Amino acid sequence: MKKIIVLVILAVFALFTASSAFAGGKCPQPRKTKKAPGGIAGKDNTGKADKANGKKLYDKKAKPMACVMCHGKTGAGDGKLGAALKPKPRNFACAATMKDVSAGQMYYIIKNGSKGTGMAPMKLKDKEIWDVIKYIREDLMH
């Protein structure tokens, strides 16, 4: 009998840790980031952007830090470093929040950072910024 109780407790514990590991960022998620100034939010140069290069930047190459460290492998805002941040990194996988975030808005924030949050201005060329936006919008957002 005791054994069964121990097993049940273990199973509940395992389920709990597994679900919290996969739950990622909240959805809908509040946004601390300000709106990009007029005009820029409507910009979209992802048409000819290179998504494969965007993935490389996201996962590894972006400076000063790869996006994956905070925004997580699947974009759920659950990267290792993100856990300690307030507000939490954007959850790109959350459609309810991302419906208000245009490609141009992303461009502005990646380039300039978001004051009062852990999102620093990224040292990327404009072309690289559009590459990473294309990767996020096509492969991580849904």
- Which residues form the interface with ligand HEC (CB under 6 A)? 31-33, 62, 65, 67, 69-71, 81-82, 85, 87, 89-90, 101, 105-106, 109-110, 114, 117-119, 122, 132
Decide whether 46 or 117 has the Cβ nearer to ligand HEC.
117
Instruction: Please identify which residue in the block is written with the tokens 């000819």.
Output: 48
**Shortest separation between residue 72's beta carbon and ligand HEC, angstroms:** 10
**Shortest separation between residue 21's beta carbon and ligand HEC, angstroms:** 19
Q: Is the dihedral of CA 93, 70, 35, 30 positive or negative?
A: positive
Neighbours of 48 (CB within 10 A): 9
Decide whether 10 or 120 has the Cβ nearer to ligand HEC.
120
Length of the chain: 142
Decide whether 24 or 89 has the Cβ nearer to ligand HEC.
89
Q: Do the Cβ atoms of 109 and 36 come closer than 8 Å? A: yes
Decide whether 93 or 106 has the Cβ nearer to ligand HEC.
106
Q: Closest Cα partner for 140 from 67, 83, 86?
A: 67
**Shortest separation between residue 22's beta carbon and ligand HEC, angstroms:** 20
Decide whether 19 or 29 has the Cβ nearer to ligand HEC.
29
Neighbours of 28 (CB within 10 A): 13
**Shortest separation between residue 27's beta carbon and ligand HEC, angstroms:** 13
